[in-house]
Structure 1
Amino acid sequence: MDELSVGRRGALAAIAAGVGGCVGRTADPPPPVSMLAAGSLNDALENGLRPRVDARLRVEAHGSARVARLVAAGTKDPDVVALADVALFDAPLDPPWYAEFATNAVVLAYDADSEGGQRVADAAPGRWYRPLRSDAVSLGRTDPDLDPLGYRTLFALELATDHYGLDTDLRAAIPRREQIYPETQLLSQFETGSIDAAVTYRSMAEERGYDYVSLPPEVDLSSPRFADRYAAVSYELPSGRVVAGAPISYGATIRHDSAPVRDVFARATAGDYLDEFGFAVPDDYPRFTGTVPDGVAT
């Protein structure tokens, strides 16, 4: 074989290899859509929203007050922020707009297989607070400095004191520091036997299948009819901001706009998956506040 034939064969082989490399190469996938969300939304987002969207979804969940501080400080920079209390969009966050998309209620969940949990069941529905005042029931709650469920627990106890006309201030008598657990780990403490009962959201109790005591609407922060009553209680966050009681409302906003982000946001705030995970969605939700970008509200 002459040198020219060898050269031609080498050139053809090189061209074929190059063409094969181009054919085999795929386009880089689009970046994931990141959501930083309230801990109580985690299960719904992971198991309800994720299967309903085309985009790759990356969810990180913490207590909402912590989420707001992480974003405000620039420590986290998600595409979408979803919080369990829209008051946090006033401060420390200050987005130009947000959407309210779900509501919830504070309940008292209990482990029916534990002795302390049975005490709670026996005291329900009208005297649920009595066993919590003794050491016979180990209670779990979340940190009011880190998430709305924590300060809503205190609100519910104070509202219950007034609602039942009690001489003992439940907000002062029941809470102890050793009761505090991260929101995302609160109900798993039933499985380890660490607690008998927990003040939690109805959605969290239902998604885990735990028995719970429904509190009166005057106490559970679920009803707009009692907004004035709720507003009489408050909590001061470490930042110095005072949060007043209000009907529970979840809110979300977009921080980095794109077509995939808008699709995730639309499905997150208007999806029927929320009902499946124990949240309530009023007829007028999603409800928008602020200067909403064109096309988002539709």
Structure 2
Amino acid sequence: MKMKTIIIACLVILMISWALLALNMISSQGESVTLRIFHAGSLSVPLKQIAERFEEENPEVKVVLEPSGSVLAVRKITELHKTADILMTADYRLINDMMMPSYAEFNIAFASNRMVLAYTDKSRYSDEINSENWFKILMKEDVRYGFSNPNDDPCGYRSPIVLALAERYYGLDLLKDLVVDKSNMILKKSDEEYFIYVPKDFAPRPGSNLVIRSKSVDLIALLESGALDYAFEYKSVAIQHGLKYVELPPQIDLSDPRFDEEYERIHIYLFYGTDEQKEVVGKSIAYGLTIPKCARNLDLAIKFVNLLLSDIGREIFEKNGQSFLDSFIVYGKVPEEINLR
């Protein structure tokens, strides 16, 4: 009798073990792997579409997109020690300067853009503004205009660079009148060069019609509500959000590498007066990407990058108003599995 009881007990334990094992296998099969991407806010729309395509092809993967200003995206890794599988910035130089070699082994510059002045039908003088008079419209006292914070976002530090280039192009004190006199930004000039200093606590002066937000896409809601008349944005962002925009001359809009010598006359210093101070020199716009050393899903990150850099990714970007570079620019040692054709 005792032996029979023991055998029955053993069988029950074995059945329970099998049941638990089966449940665990089902549970494991149902769990998704998270692929986390820190990226520039201006990439939100095309990346969402690429992520959806990737999840269709890889149903076990959940792509988590975390948009922010590109400087902040980098600092999440370098200072806050957060983990990301892919990092994508609106200025490839941020990866070279702030990530390599300690936090990343490579950088691929892959896409371009151009700066525009975005607005809506609600904007004051929207029926008058054009590529010839845009700066005159911004000078009107009843017009509210803005850009993102240079210390957080490349679109933010590119905006004063655009205005400095416009000063040289039109022969007017546009940066001084539109930004320096209305904030705590500092401007110095020497021969043909401009030196712009952005304090860590950069902000408009009280009562100013200059508006600053952390990243460029944060200004869109203000434009759409009519609380803001004009904002310096990337052309792709204006197109993706159905905004009207004024195109600027290529000597000003940071779109054309042929004008890099002119762009490079403008120097901007972020976090001025602190240990974090960093110089950025004007240059034609190029986005960069890397897989940080802290990535937890290297194989999936490589697979996603390959999709993004493929003809499918190129088509999605171009559909959203953003072009790929004619050829990718590579820094460091790129994993052999990444297709750079």
Tell me the TM-score normalized by structure 1.
0.89
Compare the two structures and name the one with the higher strand fraction.
Answer: 2
**1:113 corresponds to which residue?**
122
Alignment of 1:93-242 (within 5 A): 93-94=99-100, 95-114=104-123, 116=124, 119-164=125-170, 166=171, 168-175=172-179, 176=182, 177=204, 178-183=210-215, 184-238=217-271, 239-242=276-279
How far is 1:42 from its partner?
Answer: 1.9
**1:289 corresponds to which residue?**
331
Q: Which secondary structure does the structure 2 equivalent of 1:228 belong to?
A: helix
**1:278 corresponds to which residue?**
321
Partners of 2:50 and 2:289 in 1: how far apart?
A: 14
How far is 1:84 from its partner?
Answer: 0.6
**2:53 corresponds to which residue?**
52
CA 89–7 in structure 1, closer or farther in 2 if over 3 Å, else same: closer
Which of 28, 37, 40 pairs up with 2:39?
37
- Give structure 2 stretches of 5+ with no counterpart: 183-203, 205-209
Partners of 1:208 and 1:281 in 2: how far apart?
A: 20
Q: Contact (CA 8 Å) 2:162, 2:252: kept in 1 or not?
A: yes
Aligned residues: 290
Q: Contact (CA 8 Å) 1:252, 1:269: kept in 2 or not?
A: no
- Which deviates the most, 268-277 or 134-143? 268-277
How far is 1:23 from its partner?
Answer: 2.5
Which of 95, 120, 125 pairs up with 1:89?
95
Q: Which secondary structure does the structure 2 equivalent of 1:279 belong to?
A: coil
- Give structure 1 stretches of 5+ with no counterpart: none
Partners of 1:182 and 1:289 in 2: how far apart?
A: 29
Kindly provide the amino acid, as one letter, of the partner of residue 221 in structure 1.
L
Partners of 1:129 and 1:100 in 2: how far apart?
A: 32
How far is 1:79 from its partner?
Answer: 1.6
How far is 1:151 from its partner?
Answer: 1.0
Kindly provide the amino acid, as one letter, of the partner of residue 224 in structure 2.
E
Q: Which secondary structure does the structure 1 equivalent of 2:325 belong to?
A: coil
Kindly provide the amino acid, as one letter, of the partner of residue 73 in structure 1.
E
Spell out, residue by residue over 1:111-163, the C-alpha distance to the aligned partner (whole angstroms, 9 max, x if none): 1133x1xx144130211111101222111210111111011111111111222
Kindly provide the amino acid, as one letter, of the partner of residue 288 in structure 2.
G
Percent identity for Structure 1 against Structure 2:
26
What RMSD, in angstroms, separates the aligned Cα atoms of the two structures?
A: 2.2
